[in-house]
Amino acid sequence: MVWQYKPRWLADSIREAIEFSPVVILSGARQSGKSTLLQYEKPFKDWPYITLDDYEAYDMARKNPMELVSIHDKVVIDEVQKSPELLSAIKFCVDQNRNLRFILSGSANLLLMKKVTESLAGRCLYFELLPFSSGEELLKPVPSWLRRGAAIAEVKDVDVSPITNKNLFRGSLPPVTFLKKEFHISEWWSGYIKTYLERDLRDLSQITDIPDFRRVMVLLASRSAQILNQANIARAAMVSQPTTNRYVNLLEMSGLYFKLQPYSKNIKKRIVKSPKGYFLDTGLMCSLSGVKNHKAIDPTFRGQLYETRIFHNLLSISKMLGGQLFYLRKQGGLEREIDFILEMEETLLAIEVKSSSQVTFKDAENIEELKGILPKRLFGFVIYNGTEIKKLRKNVLAIPDSMLA
């Protein structure tokens, strides 16, 4: 496949933000496409572009930050976390002239966010760029039908193929989506782990024991889409709980791991309050787990990969539509869980995920049983790996995973 720029859903939000905010922060995992977005989307692509990967720019930022940020009225500065001195200079400039516009991009949330909080509080808006959603990869618009309460009636058939094991093995970071050979994909992810997760994060956060860090990553990858139990992770990795907690937070702040919180608004039942943990890329999960090609994915791990991929898509969509994503698990008696609760304005969408290509009435059982403890205006979906839309209950539809694209 020949490389071509694929528009990112987040670009419209950034365009809207720069109309009134003097500073916009664009962060996200390394290789998620931040620099590419800013170099290809209007109007940013026409702004002066400075990257602190360039030694001369970095040297100037370190020695004379005020001069660097005073050159242009509108500018993109990439890899800004390499020179925290710039943030204080930008603060001074925008306080003097609110018509200035800065877009600051960087991969290291853990470093950047602390400095932003200290230096640019009240002066910036913050955005995180995720890996490609299925819709972005297929050049589709945001599926806005999820926003409205009439979602059930508005779902229509689409002619997009379901998610395959090849999709799950490859993952969603932009550079890897253009690779065809699975050997190349495997080698790309191996290099990504070594150069970024092990080297860059070690330099930024003083990780002194790479083998310990890798063991924690491997265990988290094997338990994606499950309740996060850091005590169990620590025991299995033979690492202290404080160190495990630091590693988990580091991966979360680097944009590669996400803690999904439970939905608990106005619910008095016994609700599990621990978060679920998700890696944000199934290709990274496969690489950390030693999976070398799509045929090596076993059924159990496939279920975790599939739910993780659906999570990534739902997270991308919810960010664009102004929604919030949760999960719900009730204890006591027969324990039941709804994989995702998507809160959209006054509407709640209860979403179950099934990695099989067939669904039955039983697959809507948890939504039916738990709807009584949830607020009204509830619609339900069972997202599965098939091709047909099926009605499972009065307000519950089974829909193909391709409906999220």
Instruction: Specify the DSSP element, H or E, that contains 60.
Output: helix 55-63
Taking all residues of the chain, what is their mean pLDDT, rounded to a whole number?
Answer: 89
| Mean of pLDDT values over 85-92 | 90
Return left, alpha or beta for 31; rule: phi > 0 is left, psi -120 to 50 is alpha, else beta.
Answer: left
Residue 197 has pLDDT above 80, yes or no: no
Per-residue burial over 280-304, b if 16 or more Cβ lie within 10 Å, else e, is: bbbbbbbbbbebeebeebeeebbbb
- For residue range 217-261, what is the model confidence (pLDDT) as tens digits? 999 999 999 999 999 999 999 999 999 998 898 888 888 899 999
DSSP string, 213-270: HHHHHHHHHHTTTEE--HHHHHHHHT--HHHHHHHHHHHHHTTSEEEEPBP-TT--S-
In the numeric block, which tokens belong to residue 140?
A: 């589709």
Residue 358's SS3 state is: coil
Q: What is the pLDDT of residue 347?
A: 81
- Report the share of the chain in percent with pLDDT over 90: 68
Q: What is the pLDDT of residues 264-288, one digit of tens each?
A: 877 766 678 899 999 989 999 999 9
Q: Which amino acid is at 184?
A: H
Structure tokens given for 162: 């379901």
Q: Which CATH architecture has domain 10-128?
A: 3-Layer(aba) Sandwich (3.40)
pLDDT at 155: 67
> What pLDDT does residue 100 have?
95
Q: What is the pLDDT of residue 95?
A: 92
* Contact in structure between 275 and 228 (CB atoms under 8 Å): yes
- Locate 241 and state its tokens: 């709980």
Single-letter residue type at 256: L
Contact 329, 335 (CB under 8 A): yes
Predicted confidence (pLDDT) per residue in 314-356, tens digit? 999 999 999 999 999 987 667 899 999 999 877 889 999 999 9
Q: To 10 degrees, what angle do helices 85-96 and 109-119 make?
A: 40
pLDDT of the residue at 173: 96
In the chain, CATH 3.40.50.300 sits at 10-128
Query: For residue 372, is pLDDT > 90?
Result: no
Cβ neighbour number for residue 232 with a 10 Å cutoff? 13
Question: Residue 182 in contact with residue 293, Cβ under 8 Å?
Answer: yes
Report the C-alpha gap between 239 and 217 in whole angstroms: 12
pLDDT at 112: 65
DSSP 131: S
pLDDT over 70, % of the chain: 90
DSSP annotation of 300 = H
Residue 4 pLDDT grade (very low, low, confident, very high; cuts 50, 70, 90): confident
Tens digit of pLDDT for each residue in 285-323?
A: 999 999 999 999 999 999 999 999 999 999 999 999 999
Write down the residue that tokens 């619609």 correspond to.
Answer: 379
Task: Kindly give the residue spans of alpha helices, DSSP state H, lying in 138-181.
Answer: 151-154, 165-170, 174-177
Q: How far apart are CA 185 and CA 272, in angstroms?
A: 38
Report the C-alpha gap between 205 and 225 in whole angstroms.
Answer: 26
Longest dimension (CA), the chain: 66
Tell me: the pLDDT tens digits for 124-174?
A: 899 999 999 999 999 999 988 777 655 565 666 566 689 999 999 999 999
